[in-house]
Chains A and B, each alone.
Chain A
Amino acid sequence: MAREPRKPIQKDDVLTLLGYALPVLGGLLGVVYVNINHMDFINPVWAVGGGAILGWVAARVMRKALG
Chain B
Amino acid sequence: MAALDQTQVKEGVDQETVDAVREVGTYKYGWDTDIEMEYAPKGVNPDIVRLISGKNEEPEWMTEWRLAAFERWTQIDEPNWAMVSYPKIDFQDQYYYARPKSMEEKPKSLDEVDPKLLATYEKLGIPLKEQMILAGVEGAEDMPAEGRKVAVDAVFDSVSVGTTFQDELMKHGVIFCSISEAIREHPELVKKYLGTVVPVSDNYYATLNSAVFSDGSFVYIPPGVRCPMELSTYFRINAENTGQFERTLIIADKGSYVSYLEGCTAPQRDTAQLHAAVVEIIIEEDAEVKYSTVQNWFPGDENGKGGIYNFVTKRADCRGDRSKVMWTQVETGSAVTWKYPSCILRGDDSQGEFYSIAITNNYQQADTGTKMIHLGKNTKSRIVSKGISAGKAQNTYRGLVSMHPKAKDSRNYTQCDSLLIGDKCGAHTVPYIEVKNNSSRVEHEATTSKVDEDQLFYCRQRGMDEEEAVALVVNGFCKDVLQALPMEFAMEAQQLVAISLEGSVG
- Residue ranges of A at the interface with B (Cβ–Cβ < 8 Å): 38-39, 41
Q: Could you tell me how many residues of chain B have their Cβ less than 8 Å away from some Cβ of chain A?
A: 6
Could you jot down 8 A-B contacts, CB within 8 Å?
A: A38-B382, A39-B351, A39-B353, A39-B380, A39-B382, A41-B380, A41-B411, A41-B413
Closest A residue by C-beta to B351: A39
Q: How far is the CA of A38 from the CA of B326 in the complex (A)?
A: 13
Closest B residue by C-beta to A41: B411
- For A41, the chain B residues whose CB sits under 8 A away are 380, 411, 413
- Residue ranges of B at the interface with A (Cβ–Cβ < 8 Å): 351, 353, 380, 382, 411, 413
Min CB distance, A38 to chain B, in Å? 7
- For A38, the chain B residues whose CB sits under 8 A away are 382
Closest B residue by C-beta to A40: B380
Closest A residue by C-beta to B382: A39
- For B380, the chain A residues whose CB sits under 8 A away are 39, 41
Q: How far is the CA of A41 from the CA of B353 in the complex (A)?
A: 13
Q: How far is the CA of A38 from the CA of B353 in the complex (A)?
A: 11
Q: How far is the CA of A4 from the CA of B411 in the complex (A)?
A: 63
Chain B binding site: helix, strand, loop or mixed by DSSP? strand
Q: Inter-chain contact count A-B, CB under 8 Å?
A: 8
Closest A residue by C-beta to B443: A41
- For A39, the chain B residues whose CB sits under 8 A away are 351, 353, 380, 382
- For B411, the chain A residues whose CB sits under 8 A away are 41
Min CB distance, A35 to chain B, in Å? 11
Q: How far is the CA of A55 from the CA of B97 in the complex (A)?
A: 66
Q: How far is the CA of A38 from the CA of B413 in the complex (A)?
A: 11
Min CB distance, A23 to chain B, in Å? 29
Min CB distance, B320 to chain A, in Å? 17
Min CB distance, B257 to chain A, in Å? 16
Min CB distance, A16 to chain B, in Å? 40
Min CB distance, A42 to chain B, in Å? 11
Ranked 8 nearest A-B pairs via Cβ: A39-B380, A41-B411, A39-B351, A39-B382, A41-B413, A41-B380, A38-B382, A39-B353
Q: How far is the CA of A39 from the CA of B353 in the complex (A)?
A: 9
Min CB distance, B277 to chain A, in Å? 28
Min CB distance, B135 to chain A, in Å? 42
- For B382, the chain A residues whose CB sits under 8 A away are 38-39
Closest A residue by C-beta to B413: A41
Q: How far is the CA of A16 from the CA of B5 in the complex (A)?
A: 75
Min CB distance, B355 to chain A, in Å? 11
- For B413, the chain A residues whose CB sits under 8 A away are 41
Q: How far is the CA of A47 from the CA of B199 in the complex (A)?
A: 43
- For B351, the chain A residues whose CB sits under 8 A away are 39
Q: How far is the CA of A41 from the CA of B380 in the complex (A)?
A: 9
Q: How far is the CA of A26 from the CA of B203 in the complex (A)?
A: 52
Closest A residue by C-beta to B353: A39
Contacts A39-B353, A39-B380, A41-B380 known; 5 new A-B pairs at CB < 8 A? A38-B382, A39-B351, A39-B382, A41-B411, A41-B413
Q: How far is the CA of A39 from the CA of B372 in the complex (A)?
A: 14
Q: How far is the CA of A6 from the CA of B210 in the complex (A)?
A: 81
Q: How far is the CA of A38 from the CA of B411 in the complex (A)?
A: 12
Closest A residue by C-beta to B441: A41
Q: How far is the CA of A41 from the CA of B442 in the complex (A)?
A: 11
Min CB distance, B489 to chain A, in Å? 20
Q: How far is the CA of A39 from the CA of B380 in the complex (A)?
A: 7
Q: How far is the CA of A43 from the CA of B353 in the complex (A)?
A: 18
Min CB distance, A7 to chain B, in Å? 47
- For B353, the chain A residues whose CB sits under 8 A away are 39
Min CB distance, A37 to chain B, in Å? 11
Closest B residue by C-beta to A38: B382
Closest A residue by C-beta to B381: A39
Min CB distance, B390 to chain A, in Å? 30
Min CB distance, B289 to chain A, in Å? 15
Min CB distance, B427 to chain A, in Å? 26
Min CB distance, B238 to chain A, in Å? 41
Q: How far is the CA of A38 from the CA of B382 in the complex (A)?
A: 9
Q: How far is the CA of A39 from the CA of B411 in the complex (A)?
A: 9
Min CB distance, B444 to chain A, in Å? 14
Closest A residue by C-beta to B326: A39
Q: How far is the CA of A59 from the CA of B380 in the complex (A)?
A: 36
Min CB distance, B293 to chain A, in Å? 21
Closest A residue by C-beta to B411: A41
Q: How far is the CA of A38 from the CA of B324 in the complex (A)?
A: 13
Min CB distance, A44 to chain B, in Å? 13
Min CB distance, B297 to chain A, in Å? 31
Min CB distance, B389 to chain A, in Å? 28
Q: How far is the CA of A38 from the CA of B380 in the complex (A)?
A: 11
Q: How far is the CA of A39 from the CA of B413 in the complex (A)?
A: 9
